[in-house]
Chain A
Amino acid sequence: MSTATKPPTAPKPAKKARPPKAVESQRSRAETNLARKLVAPAIVLMLLVTAFPMLRALYLSLFSYSLTAPDDREFVGLSNYVTALSDKLFWQDTGNTVLIMLVTVFFELVIGFAFALVMHRLIFARGVVRTSILIPYGVITVVSGFAWQFAFSNNNGFVNGWLPFIGDDFNWFAQYDSSMIAIMASEIWKTTPFMSLLLLAGLAQISEDMIEAAKVDGATWFQRLFKVILPNMRGAIMVAVLFRALDAYRIFDNIFVMTAGANGTESISFLTYRQVVEQFQLGIGSALSVLLFLSVLVVAFVIVKVFRVNLADARQES
């Protein structure tokens, strides 16, 4: 609020020295004022629903606080964090989340890029393909979770029947490994199209001349792909990976629907949800919320760093 209404007082006297500039700065000050009024509702709402609750979570995380016994609320300092960080479950769930993020983003990138190449070169059926590619994006995540859960089910699914090397009565949801595969399959199915659309936009920005030139110089298809196309798409790839990785890191819906966290398939989001909504442990739940937020920041930081390093490498090569 304060940024939206605060009048810019400091620069005024300095600029009064030259009259023509003062007129300009008056106009720009009016523009700034109008802009701030237009932007204020959006900023206020976003901060009210995210920044304020987050600060409150930070505060509550210092208390032993259960909604089932609100009167026993007690300041405990950082002990909720100690409890969370020394719990095996926390690290197991973080491990699951990281594993899901790495595997799904990798497959989405490879398959999504293949799809983008197909769509980029497409001469016929453009409309049909572009419409279909949006269908997984549009399907509710919960519904796609159900669709895949039933598909993998040994009772009424089709996956066992279609996969020749798997027995018809194999229960995918009876153990950890296969449960994770099923969860990741549904996540990859749902979000690969989104990835391919972002990559397609990146592909469209590469000049055809450059690819033609490489062709004339005798570069093979693979050389053109790795030396011309991919280096020029680094920006688009980074955006796509960043978006998808952060999205994958907060995975919740699929796991809730498909396994409900059974066989150790819980994600860190799921653990947080369980502490707060099912167990009413607001203190420890808030600590987990803060840790989740911090780990998302770490993931974002790492991705940005990794891509920068690659950029430098690419420059050294050429």
Chain B
Amino acid sequence: MALTGKNKERAQRAGMGLGVALVLGWCLLPVVWIVSLSFKSQAAVTNGSPGFLPADGGGAGFDNYRQVLQDGDFLLAIRNSAVVSLSATILSVAIATLAAYAIARLEFKGKKFVLTTALVIAMFPVVSLVGPLFDMWRTVGLYDTWYGLIIPYISFTLPLAIWTLSAFFREIPWEMEQAAQVDGATAWQAFRKVIVPLAAPGVFTAAILTFFFAWNDFVFGISLTSTENARPIPAALSFFVGADPFNRPASLLAAGAVVATVPIVVLVLFFQRKIVAGLTAGAVKG
């Protein structure tokens, strides 16, 4: 009661500012930290430098980055991750689009079965498939190949893609397609000019989320590959020991981690709105 209207508003604003600062600090601190680490010199880091900023640890400029980008295995891992994640994303979203269209627009028996299967798979503990897949892939020759990763990635991203897409497709006013046909458009024209532009944002969102999953995966990446032939970047980073196996080159590893994270963070920055919509639509409305 002691607060007058103006003071109360000011206090609220200050509280809000504090809240925002906390959220931003939470989200960015470890990111700033690993970037900072990547600019420290390796010698300073091994000798012990508890400081936060590169200045405390002896700045190394872009040396670590130069070294990482000259590392053949690292570049191969980036290539593997890119090929595998992109292929899985394209295929998964294509297959999910068909299924989600059927779920959102058609009435059919077995709809519940599809959605339940997807939900169960989304909850599935990934590791419990590693054993059987490890064994099967070795028998059929998919072990340590791109396909050996693409197939499980598609299967495991399908639930997310199906749920997100069917939530999006349910919002599309499908009558507009008929309206266009009444106005003289052919069925194909009506589909292409009306429905595709309306569905594209949803498909795109599902693609980004799928790509996230595939790029982030570690369990399959580490269990179903054994060489740089197919090993994706998270697995490669975890095996990265440098010259001295007892002293992991922290700053070098940090540079590698930053390089591996940049594509994802760029995606986040560009498509923030879509990602939020997709994450919450799939989970809450589904």
- In the assembled complex, the Cα of A118 lies from the Cα of B133 at a distance in Å of 44
1/0 per residue A176-212: CB within 8 Å of B? 0000000000000100111001101110010000000
Would A151 and B33 be within 8 Å (CB), given that A31-B108, A276-B223 are in contact? yes
B37 contacts chain A at the CB level, 8 A cutoff: yes
Q: What's the minimum C-beta distance from A49 to chain B, rounded to whole angstroms?
A: 4
B125 with A250: CB separation less than 8 A: yes
CB-contact partner of A156 in B28, B50, B283, B284, under 8 A: B50
B84 contacts chain A at the CB level, 8 A cutoff: no
B237 with A118: CB separation less than 8 A: no
1/0 per residue A274-306: CB within 8 Å of B? 011100001001101110110010001000000
CB-contact partner of B260 in A28, A140, A148, A296, under 8 A: A140
B52 contacts chain A at the CB level, 8 A cutoff: yes
Number of interface residues of B (CB under 8 A): 94
Interface residues on A, range: 35 or more
B222 contacts chain A at the CB level, 8 A cutoff: yes
CB-contact partner of A202 in B95, B128, B284, under 8 A: B284
Which chain A residues in 233-251 approach chain B with CB under 8 Å?
A: 236, 239-240, 243, 246, 249-250
B280 contacts chain A at the CB level, 8 A cutoff: yes
Max chain B Cβ within 10 angstroms of own Cβ: one of A42, A136, A189, A285: A42
Q: Which residues of B contact A243 (CB under 8 A)?
A: 283
Max chain A Cβ within 10 angstroms of own Cβ: one of B30, B101, B128: B128
Residue of B nearest to A119 (CB): B23
B126 contacts chain A at the CB level, 8 A cutoff: yes
A146 contacts chain B at the CB level, 8 A cutoff: yes
A147 contacts chain B at the CB level, 8 A cutoff: yes
- In the assembled complex, the Cα of A229 lies from the Cα of B58 at a distance in Å of 51
What are 15 A-B residue pairs whose CB atoms fall within 8 Å in the complex?
A39-B110, A131-B269, A135-B27, A136-B31, A138-B261, A143-B260, A147-B33, A151-B30, A240-B283, A256-B218, A289-B128, A292-B128, A293-B125, A296-B123, A296-B124
